[in-house]
């Protein structure tokens, strides 16, 4: 719940600060291939991915939110003592020429409390919160495709 409150407050802050200058004029951000993997029956935890590109100043992805899950976390994967471990992180950096690729097996989105009603093939809104190098926050809404495991 603490995480949800944080995401919500970031979203509100971004709205409040949503002046035309929030993108710095020259920064542009694009998202492609956003997806969420439908959990297997009886489970409510899902992985997700996307590719985030920026032009201009470096930015950081600091949060994600969607109506179909209670919380969304940013996770990294690393090999420790021969075992793949996931770790929650507060931000993932992205800079021009180095897109941020979130996918299974690497850094990814992790969704908790996922609605059992989502259907493979449908799309849902995914709201990303980004910070600029000057600390300004902005949000970006993209559409994530619900996929089946292994698709």
Residues that bind Cu ion (CB under 5 A): 75, 86, 110
SS3 53: strand
Are the CB atoms for 78 and 127 separated by under 8 Å?
Answer: no
- List the helix and strand counts (H, then E) for the chain: 1, 10
Looking at the Cβ atoms of 94 and 107, the one nearer to Cu ion is 107
**75-84 contacts at long range (C-beta below 8 A, 24 or more positions apart):** 75/107, 75/108, 75/109, 75/110, 76/106, 76/107, 77/105, 77/106, 77/107, 77/108
CB of 132 to Cu ion, least distance (A): 26
* Structure tokens, 22: 């929030």
Looking at the Cβ atoms of 39 and 132, the one nearer to Cu ion is 39
Name the residue among 77, 93, 100, 96 with its Cα closest to residue 131. Answer: 93
Looking at the Cβ atoms of 14 and 108, the one nearer to Cu ion is 108
CB of 32 to Cu ion, least distance (A): 21
CB of 80 to Cu ion, least distance (A): 14
Looking at the Cβ atoms of 51 and 76, the one nearer to Cu ion is 76
CB of 114 to Cu ion, least distance (A): 13
CB of 134 to Cu ion, least distance (A): 30
Looking at the Cβ atoms of 53 and 75, the one nearer to Cu ion is 75
């Amino acid at each position: 719940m603490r995480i949800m409150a944080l995401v919500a407050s970031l979203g509100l802050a971004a709205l409040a600060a949503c002046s035309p200058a929030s993108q710095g004029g020259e920064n542009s951000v694009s998202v492609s291939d956003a997806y969420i993997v439908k959990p297997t029956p009886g489970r409510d935890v899902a992985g997700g991915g996307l590719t985030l590109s920026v032009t201009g100043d470096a930015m950081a992805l600091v949060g994600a939110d969607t109506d179909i899950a209670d919380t969304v976390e940013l996770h990294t994967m690393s090999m420790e003592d021969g075992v793949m471990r996931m770790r929650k992180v507060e931000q993932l950096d992205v800079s021009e020429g180095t897109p941020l690729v979130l996918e299974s097996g690497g850094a990814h989105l992790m969704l908790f409390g996922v609605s059992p009603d989502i259907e493979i093939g449908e799309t849902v809104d995914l709201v990303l919160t980004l910070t600029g190098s000057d600390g300004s926050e902005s949000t970006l809404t993209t559409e994530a495709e619900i996929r089946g495991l292994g698709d």
